[in-house]
Homo-oligomer: A and B are copies of this chain.
Amino acid sequence: MTSEKQDTDLPVGRDPTDDLWDAMFTQRAIRYWQDKPVPRELLEKVVQAAAKAPSGSNTQPWVFVVVDDAEQRAAIGAALRGIFETAEPLQQLIAAGEKSDDKTERLMLTGARAFFTQLEKAPAMIIPCLYQLSSPTQDPSTLLAGSSIYLAVQNLMLAARGLGLGTVMTTAQMMLDAILRSTLSIPDDAHPVALIPIGYPDANFGPTTRKPLDEILRWNRW
């Protein structure tokens, strides 16, 4: 399987890794970017990895819109900033979180402000869309629809981590539905499920901490 391994001549970013466990255990939300375009061959590679994920009856009901055009990123970023500036509860939530005693929360909320106000600084964004969904459901609004695309989203983000590119999983596509459809010509029968900025990170990867295993694993009965 060496043919599938990371091509050594790709212009990888920070702390690249081909190690499965390192990639999973150090995948951290990245919300700050170097001002440096991402070569399309890297973006193609993360989409190729996404497409290897399982989906209902292997139907692969997805299209990935990759936005690296500066004007389009500016339009999407301006729209998100506009929403943020009129969303007082969201602003208050973030302002409070930025003063939290908990460092992780403080960093997350400071990063959230950067995300909402400067999204266009991400050199690229990927919008995974459900398209021609037929299995295990035809209804793209349901939990089960998620089972046919979010596994691919995780492959995409792990591939990015492997290549030393930062990403953050967001569902900002919900707020931006109209602008995404108009700016990117997304048709009515396609359904954005995430908005994932991607670029060379100006922040560090993990390791990350999570709930202990005994809180989240049950043997044979809840």
Give the secondary structure class of A's interface: mixed
Q: CB-CB < 8 A to A24: which residues of B? A: 49, 52-53, 155, 158-159
The smallest C-beta distance from A156 to any residue of chain B, in angstroms, reads 10
Distance to closest chain B CB from A2 (angstroms): 9
Q: When each residue 99-120 of chain A gets 1 if its CB lies under 8 Å from chain B and 0 otherwise, what string results? A: 0000010001000000000000
Contacts A171-B56, A187-B222, A222-B65 given; does A1 touch B27 at CB 8 Å: no
Q: How many copies are assembled?
A: 2
Complex CA gap A51/B213 in Å reads 8
Chain B residues in 8 Å Cβ range of A56:
171
Contact among B5, B17, B144, B215 with A171 in the assembled complex (CB-CB below 8 Å):
B144
- Asked if residues A142 and B144 are in contact (CB atoms below 8 Å), the reply is no
Size of the chain A interface, CB-CB below 8 angstroms: 85
Kindly supply a per-residue 1/0 record for chain A positions 141-168, scoring 1 wherever the CB is within 8 Å of any chain B CB and 0 otherwise.
Answer: 1111111011111110111001000001
- Decide: B54 and A220 in contact? CB cutoff 8 A: no
* A57: B residues at CB distance < 8 A: 108
Q: Report if A176 contacts B (CB, 8 A).
A: no
| Distance of A196 from chain B, by nearest CB (Å) | 10
Does A194 sit at the interface, judged by CB under 8 A? yes
Q: Is residue A198 within 8 Å, beta carbon to beta carbon, of the partner chain?
A: no
Which of chain B's residues has its CB closest to A29's CB? B54
Query: In the complex, which of the residues B6, B51, B72, B169 contacts A211, with contact meaning CB atoms closer than 8 Å?
Result: B51
